[in-house]
Amino acid sequence: MTKPVEALHKKIEEVISCFFIMVGALLASFSVVCILIPNDAIDYGTAGLAIILSKLTNWNLSMCVAGVFLPFIIAGFLILGKKFGVKALLGSAVYTVGIAIFERIPFELDTEHFLAVVFGGAILGAGLSLILKNGGCIDGSEIFANIVVKKISDKTGKNFSMTYLLIGFNACVYAAVFVLINRNAALMSLLVYVVATSIINHFTDNYEAIKQVTIITKEPDELVKAIKKELNKTCTIMNSYGAIAGENKTLICYVNYFELPKMKEIIARNKGSFSTVSTIEEILR
């Protein structure tokens, strides 16, 4: 594949990924405004904080969402990189606009609260899965957890899962719902979280967990340098042997879900390599 054709191919991929991020953001906003809030439930993460703020102050929901999201998006842009920041901004902007639009559209799901919340949580999870699968993010809690994990990893050289940070953040959100709104809203919102995260984890292979990237290559030096320079990660290098290719080097590197797109770019630039990605529940030291 020639360089102009390869560049065009990458641009088309980026356009497609941005399209799916927008679709996912619209699905999420539809679920929140048209299904969850009318049935006494809210979204989780920073979107949940924005909904609580809107309910307590009677301020416009889309403005609350924009105000709560903005600091996290700026932090993600500065710390996690321009590409991530642009996709996070795109998803958040479409999500906010979607909320503003769906607030003006009369919609009623004529069914029991429990069924409506489960259905709404499933749609929310599907929308967020589309966003995460295409390198985007609309929830500030995920950006916050990613920044914390990155900072700790950069200082210690160790890899940590985002799971406990996200659980802690959302536990605070639901505690606030319980105290400031009511008990039923807190329980319904917890059900949303369980359903939505189950859908997300199914389609993203537990995005909160650590990912092990295994790369088999004959020329590891450039890969190792690029991984260190662009991701500030190190690799374990082992000798390996292919039945056809002969002697190789096997590189093992650990990254989080949001670092995977950059890792894939690095691998794609180094032709002749073979790689796999697997989910790691825990690293023992």
- DSSP sequence for 156-196: H-----SHHHHHHHHHHHHHHHHHHT-HHHHHHHHHHHHHH
Give the pLDDT confidence score for residue 285 in this predicted structure: 66
How far, in Å, CA of 183 to CA of 3, rounded?
59
How far, in Å, CA of 51 to CA of 35, rounded?
14
The first and second tokens of residue 15, run together, are 């356009």
Give the pLDDT confidence score for residue 2 in this predicted structure: 64
How far, in Å, CA of 169 to CA of 184, rounded?
20
3-state secondary structure of 214: strand
Domain parsing of the chain, residue ranges? 3-204, 210-280
Paired with 249 in beta bridges are 217, 239
Class of domain 210-280: alpha beta
How far, in Å, CA of 82 to CA of 92, rounded?
15
Give the pLDDT confidence score for residue 63 in this predicted structure: 92
Give the pLDDT confidence score for residue 140 in this predicted structure: 83
pLDDT in tens, the chain (285 residues): 566 777 777 888 889 999 999 999 999 999 999 999 998 888 888 999 999 999 999 899 999 999 999 998 888 888 877 888 888 899 999 999 999 999 888 887 767 888 889 999 999 999 999 998 888 888 888 888 888 888 887 777 777 778 888 889 989 999 999 998 888 888 999 999 999 999 998 888 888 888 999 999 988 888 999 999 888 888 999 998 887 778 899 999 998 888 888 898 899 888 778 899 998 877 766
Give the pLDDT confidence score for residue 28 in this predicted structure: 94
How far, in Å, CA of 252 to CA of 98, rounded?
41
